[in-house]
Amino acid sequence: MSHDDAPTARRVDALVAQLEDRGITSDAELTAIVERFLAGAGPQNGARLVARAWRDPAFKALLLDDANAAIDAVGLETGHWVSVKLVAVENTADVHNVIVCTLCSCYPLALLGPSPYWYKSEAYRSRVVREPRAVLAEFGLRLEPHVEVRVWDSTAELRYLVVPQRPAGTEGLDEDALAALVSRDALIGVAVATAPG
C-alpha cells in the first residue's frame, strides 16, 4: 500500500468496524461480496460487448444509444451500478476516444476489471486532458493528424466504454475470436483492437 492510500484504508477500516458493531455485516461477509464481484469483473465483459456490437448492427445501435440496456441484454450483472449511467463511445476513422477520471479513478470495473495503476495516477488524469496525443504516443498509439481525439471524463454517476474500430480482416471471426482482439487498454482508448495474428 502506498503512503497516499493509508488515509483511505483507515476510513474503510473504521466504516467496517461500525457496520460490524451494529450487526449489519462482518468483514468476512464484505470480503466475500467483493471477491464474488471481482471474480465476474474483467475486460472480457467489455470485450464481449464490443464483439457483439461488431457482429450485430442492432446490438451496436443499442450499445451506443443505451449502454446500460445493452449490458442487461447480454446478461451482465449490473446491480451494483444502480445509479451509474454507462455511455459507449465509438472510435471511427476520423474520431478516437479515450476515457479518464480527472477527479479520482471512476471506472467501469465490471467491464474492465481492476483499473491499471496508470489510470489512477495524477500524471495520466491531468495530462490526457491537456495533451491527449502526447499521452497516447507514450502508450505507443500514434494517430493520423486528421483524427480528432475526444477525451471523456468519468464521474461517480457516469462511466464510459470505448468501442474500438473493428480490425480489417476479421469478417469471418465469431464473437469469441473477436472478443480476444479487444484489450482493456483498447476499451479505455489508449490502444486499438489488435488484428488477428
pLDDT tens per residue, range 129-152: 999 999 999 999 999 999 999 999
Residue 181 and residue 135 in one domain: yes
Note if 115 is an active site residue: no
Q: How confident is the model at residue 3 (pLDDT cuts 50, 70, 90)?
A: very low
Nearest by Cα to 110 from 155, 60, 71, 140: 71
Residue 14 and residue 48 in one domain: no
Name the pTM for this structure.
0.80
Residue 64 and residue 122 in one domain: yes
Note if 105 is an active site residue: yes
Residue 65 and residue 21 in one domain: no
Note if 83 is an active site residue: no
Domain membership of residue 194 (yes or no) is no
Domain membership of residue 193 (yes or no) is no
- The residues, ordered by sequence, that sit 6+ positions from 29 with a Cβ below 8 Å of its Cβ are none
Count of domains for the chain: 2
CATH number for the domain harbouring residue 180: 3.90.330.10
Residue 107 and residue 172 in one domain: yes
4 against 191, higher pLDDT: 191
Domain membership of residue 109 (yes or no) is yes
The range of the structural domain enclosing residue 60 comes to 42-188
106 marked as part of a ligand binding site: yes
Between CA 129 and CA 184, with CA 160 as vertex, the angle to 5 degrees is 90
- 174 within 8 A of 151, measured Cβ to Cβ: no
Average pLDDT over residues 106-128: 89
Q: Which of 26, 104, 121, 126 is catalytic?
A: 104
115 marked as part of a ligand binding site: no
6 against 192, higher pLDDT: 192
Domain membership of residue 100 (yes or no) is yes
- Residues recorded for the chain: 197
Domain membership of residue 197 (yes or no) is no
Residue 104 and residue 15 in one domain: no
Average pLDDT over residues 23-31: 74
Domain membership of residue 92 (yes or no) is yes
Q: Which of 2, 26, 83, 101 is catalytic?
A: 101
Residue 98 and residue 16 in one domain: no
105 marked as part of a ligand binding site: yes
Note if 101 is an active site residue: yes
